[in-house]
Amino acid sequence: MIKKIGIILITTLALIVNSNAASDGDLILKKNNPSEIEDCSEGFNRASFTFNQGLDKIIFKPVASAYRVLPSPIKTGVSNSLDNLTNLVTIPNNILQGDFKMAGVNTGRFVINTTVGILGLVDVAQYLGFTEYEKEDYGQSLAKAGVGPGCYIVLPVLGPSTARDTVSTFANFLGGDAWYNVTVKNDTQHFSDIDYYSSKITGGVDFRAKNFDSIENLEKNSLDFYASVKSLYLQDRQQRILNTKKIINTQDDSDWEEIENQ
């Protein structure tokens, strides 16, 4: 009970501190611009980043290395199945963002893939011509509501985040994630805690395996790997929040202009 109150208090406080209603897309874009986001606890973040790198070398990298040599249909099935589960967070966030049409599409996608697609292993919805799946989470919904990102944070084990996105993950544990509710929160007798945590760990391994070469390459060719990861994470978040396929970099050409005119 005390833990719950603590979580609610932290969530409320962080939202009050960060809350600042944005009037339009430009303001959301500006607020979530990677160069505008402060690295308030860089010392802690770098230490946490080093810890995560150690963890990656000992656990995730070797497991991902073995996982990526599995036959493609197995990897695709696992990846589809994990994506299917994320619909349970995406759908409420579609509703929170007022995108009822997409909430309907994703509900249809989830029902079809869970049943005809054998627990999500086959993305039948894609074959039926459903629009490309876009994940949504509570951090994105808060951003859309005008909540600023706050400081950049590197969480031990979980990796890069921002104050807003860290706080928003608590929403998953407070009833916002149906998968968490049926596995950990409630005793449904069909699922157990291990189903939830193993799906999260498999998700981490799947991500690491998909980006295996890119991560190795980036680490090898970076002057400051921490800064590169931070930039890539924040660019990715900015793009997800705006739900745009547009190249955000082209929205501010002032630097390039200056180079030409110098």
Partner 1 sequence: MKINKFFIIISIYFLSISNLYSIEPDVFVQSTVNRASKVLSENLSKDDKIKKLKQIALETVDIAGIGFYTLGPIRKTLNQDQKDEYAKIFQKYFLKSFSSRLSEYTNPEIDVLGKEILNQKYTIVNSLLKETSERPEIKIDWRIYTKDPENPLIRDLIIEGLSLARTQKEEFSSILKSNNDDINVLFKSLKEFYNN
Triad 157, 53, 38: Cα angle to 5°:
70
| CB within 8 Å of 41: residues ≥ 6 apart | 151, 153
Q: Any contact of residue 230 with partner 1 (CB under 8 A)?
A: yes
Interface with partner 1 (CB under 8 A), residue from 63, 145, 155, 248: 248
For residue 71, the minimal CB distance to partner 1 (Å) is 8
In sequence order, the β-bridge partners of residue 162 are 152
Residues 183 and 193 sit within 8 Å (Cβ to Cβ): yes
Q: Any contact of residue 213 with partner 1 (CB under 8 A)?
A: yes
For residue 10, the minimal CB distance to partner 1 (Å) is 29
Q: Which stretch binds partner 1 (CB under 8 A): 117-125, 154-162, 164-172, 211-219?
A: 211-219
Q: Give SS3 for 33.
A: coil
For residue 68, the minimal CB distance to partner 1 (Å) is 5
- Residue 87 CB neighbours (<10 A): 24
In sequence order, the β-bridge partners of residue 148 are none
Q: Which stretch binds partner 1 (CB under 8 A): 85-93, 145-153, 167-175, 250-258?
A: 250-258
Q: Any contact of residue 182 with partner 1 (CB under 8 A)?
A: no
Q: Any contact of residue 159 with partner 1 (CB under 8 A)?
A: no
- How is 118-139 classified by DSSP, letter by letter? TTTTS-HHHHTTPPPP----HH
Q: Any contact of residue 132 with partner 1 (CB under 8 A)?
A: no
If you search the block for the tokens 């490309």, which residue do you land on?
Answer: 132
Structure tokens at 50: 């080093």
Residues 108 and 130 sit within 8 Å (Cβ to Cβ): yes
SS3 content of the chain, % helix, strand, coil (to 5): 70, 5, 25
Per CB under 8 A, which of residues 28..67 are in contact with partner 1? 34-35
Q: Which stretch binds partner 1 (CB under 8 A): 135-143, 180-188, 194-202, 244-252?
A: 244-252
For residue 259, the minimal CB distance to partner 1 (Å) is 5
For residue 86, the minimal CB distance to partner 1 (Å) is 16
Q: Any contact of residue 13 with partner 1 (CB under 8 A)?
A: no
The Cα 149–Cα 160 span in angstroms is 13
Interface with partner 1 (CB under 8 A), residue from 223, 241, 243, 261: 223
Question: How many residues form the binding site for partner 1 (CB under 8 A)?
Answer: 36
Residues 231 and 39 sit within 8 Å (Cβ to Cβ): no
Q: Any contact of residue 254 with partner 1 (CB under 8 A)?
A: no
Residues in contact with partner 1 by CB under 8 A are: 34-35, 68-69, 72, 210-214, 217, 220-224, 226-228, 230-232, 235-236, 239, 245, 247-250, 253, 255-256, 259-260, 262
